Structure 1
Amino acid sequence: MSRKTNFLESMKNLSNIKTSFMIMKIIFKDNTKLVCLLSDKTGSIKATFANPKVKLEVGYVVEVDANMDTNLEINSFEVLDEYELSDYLPTLQRDINEVMKEIEDMSSSYILSREAKELNDYFFKDEEFLKKFKQCIGGVSMHHNYIGGLAEHTLNVMYLTTILCDRYDCRHSEIAVLSAKLHDIGKILEFNFNGPFKYSIRGELEGHITIGVQMIDEAVRSKPNFYSEDFINRVKGCIVQHHGKIEYGSPKNANMEESIIVNFADSIDARMNKLYQLKEIFEVNSWSEYDRALETRIYF
């Protein structure tokens, strides 16, 4: 598989380009042309395909020869079957393997009991799960909305959870840290992230909290009579309650020490990630627009 080397941000002064893009949106099509939005990880541009002979769909990656002005006029193109997803979609800036190493280093210090290790390993020693977990986004638009975002968010929530557990002498700190690691696992099935980010049908109907609890139930069924009822109740409770309140999307308000800690850690990281993204846009001593996730304007 060849990697993309020419990105949109470095080609803005060229009149002719030869590179590849992902089709993010079909804007218009009829019998004579197709107008769409093409993107790579550095930006997007409108493009016109004159009378394409091949059917083009959202999510396709196309190698194009095009004239470029404000928009692209496509001279010729080829649909690619093999490509690196991170070349075309917003992607975590860090090496994902470094993030995973930090997650596992923290796990080895806090996840120590037979029950906790077994539940952890059911997911994080499964190669198919790991592949999805490392690619998954943290959200479509609210926070960590890039490839690898889920892993980065999980690491940060685990870290904040360890700080709160240690500072406030949490009685069930192992469950808190394990639950921080597992709290968003349902997102690997809630989102489609192999193309333009969006909710899956299951994500729209059930959401990641419900899906995550179902995944825990599957793990428990794989090891009959192994887990204690209290252990599973607490882990599932943390997942169910990690949004904190019913009005924020949790089926139950947070009502355990460990679930309150996971909720605060989750909320801090989600909000700070959103603020960080805004900080990249707005200058010092300027106001952002009202942000729905932060529920305010931000003064930088």
Structure 2
Amino acid sequence: KMMLALRKILNTVGNPHLKALNDRFLADRTFVSRFRQAPAAKNFHHNYLGGLLEHTLSVCGMADLLAGHYPQLDRDLLVSGAFLHDIGKIREFGYTRNIDYTDEGRLLGHLVLGVAMVEDKLGELKDFPPSVALRLTHMILSHHGEYEFGSPKRPKFLEAFALHLLDDLDAKINGLGRFMEKDRLDGDWTDFNRMFGRFFLKTRIPGAEKTPAEGKEARPRQGSLFSPKPDESPIE
């Protein structure tokens, strides 16, 4: 269901060059198979099989909504960047027995690997505009937002900045939500969260729904396969 939902969003990309690039990846059976299985991280967010697809679908969906709210954003560029921003993670992580970094994951990282994968597909396309390729490359390299978070460049145009914010939001909501779900302390507050440096209030306000609204189907979600160890520091 998640892969079909992602394809549905990407099929609405109108820019012929970006659509051709996205379609190259979607037509690559090896890529799609690994993309559907890969985790999005080792420890913090979407750190389970299928997590990368879930995270990518979420960021693409938010990119679609954000572009509808802010007409100054190039929707096709933002949605395509959202699709491609983490593809390097299919090579960054191995997950045969548990989730861990591959050699190229440790030596290069998913930002560099993702750019290399995009460049390989661009080599199969004729007349792809260099200016568009440059912007996509920048979006992949800058989506962590700051140097201290692993980006060699900070976002320097609207779509790149928006992608960083959406990626960060989805990662933190997922990671924090799972932390709160796993908390077993009695009372209204969670245990201390070292990543965010605070306790979190976990009780709902009166009347808050605990299940999807009637008539609405919950978005597909993968279950957890590997749980992070308590002493492991979060890594996106």
Bin of the TM-score, shorter chain as denominator length = 0.7 to 0.9
Residue by residue over 1:243-275, the C-alpha shift from the partner in whole angstroms, topping out at 9 and shown as x without a partner, is 111111111011110011111110110000011
**1:268 aligned partner:** 169
8 Å CA contact 2:91–2:102 kept in 1: the answer is yes
The residue identity in structure 1 corresponding to 2:69 is R
**2:189 aligned partner:** 286
Q: CA distance change for structure 1 residues 151 and 157 in 2, over 3 Å: closer, same or farther?
A: same
Q: Please state how far the C-alpha of 1:135 moved relative to its aligned partner.
A: 0.3
Higher RCO, 1 vs 2 (CA within 8 Å, ≥6 residues apart): 2
Q: CA distance change for structure 1 residues 278 and 284 in 2, over 3 Å: closer, same or farther?
A: farther
Determine if the alignment matches structure 1 residue 195 to structure 2 residue 97: yes
Residue by residue over 1:116-137, the C-alpha shift from the partner in whole angstroms, topping out at 9 and shown as x without a partner, is 1111011111100000000000
TM-score with structure 1 setting the length: 0.64
**1:205 aligned partner:** 107
Residue by residue over 1:107-158, the C-alpha shift from the partner in whole angstroms, topping out at 9 and shown as x without a partner, is 122x122211111011111100000000000101011000000000001111
Question: 2: distance between equivalents of 1:271 and 1:108?
Answer: 28
Question: 1: distance between equivalents of 2:151 and 2:41?
Answer: 16
Residue by residue over 1:70-122, the C-alpha shift from the partner in whole angstroms, topping out at 9 and shown as x without a partner, is xxxxxxxxxxxxxxxxxxxxxxxxxxxx111111111122x122211111011
The residue identity in structure 1 corresponding to 2:112 is T
Question: 2: distance between equivalents of 1:211 and 1:260?
Answer: 21
For residues 48-197 of structure 1, what are the structure 2 equivalents within 5 Å? Answer: 98-109=1-12, 111-197=13-99
Q: Please state how far the C-alpha of 1:299 moved relative to its aligned partner.
A: 2.5
Question: 2: distance between equivalents of 1:210 and 1:174?
Answer: 23
Residue by residue over 1:150-188, the C-alpha shift from the partner in whole angstroms, topping out at 9 and shown as x without a partner, is 000001111111122111113422011001011000000
Q: Please state how far the C-alpha of 1:198 moved relative to its aligned partner.
A: 0.2
- Ranges in structure 2 where 5+ consecutive residues have no aligned partner: 203-236
8 Å CA contact 2:180–2:190 kept in 1: the answer is no
Aligned length: 200
Q: Give the structure with higher Rg (CA).
A: 1
- Ranges in structure 1 where 5+ consecutive residues have no aligned partner: 1-97
TM-score with structure 2 setting the length: 0.81
Q: CA distance change for structure 1 residues 239 and 186 in 2, over 3 Å: closer, same or farther?
A: same
Structure ranking higher in helix proportion: 2
Structure ranking higher in strand proportion: 1
Q: Please state how far the C-alpha of 1:295 moved relative to its aligned partner.
A: 4.5
Q: Please state how far the C-alpha of 1:284 moved relative to its aligned partner.
A: 5.8
8 Å CA contact 2:78–2:160 kept in 1: the answer is yes
Question: 1: distance between equivalents of 2:165 and 2:65?
Answer: 11
Q: CA distance change for structure 1 residues 284 and 264 in 2, over 3 Å: closer, same or farther?
A: farther
Q: Please state how far the C-alpha of 1:203 moved relative to its aligned partner.
A: 0.3
8 Å CA contact 1:165–1:261 kept in 2: the answer is no
**Aligned to 2:9, what secondary structure does the other structure show?**
helix
Q: Please state how far the C-alpha of 1:298 moved relative to its aligned partner.
A: 2.2
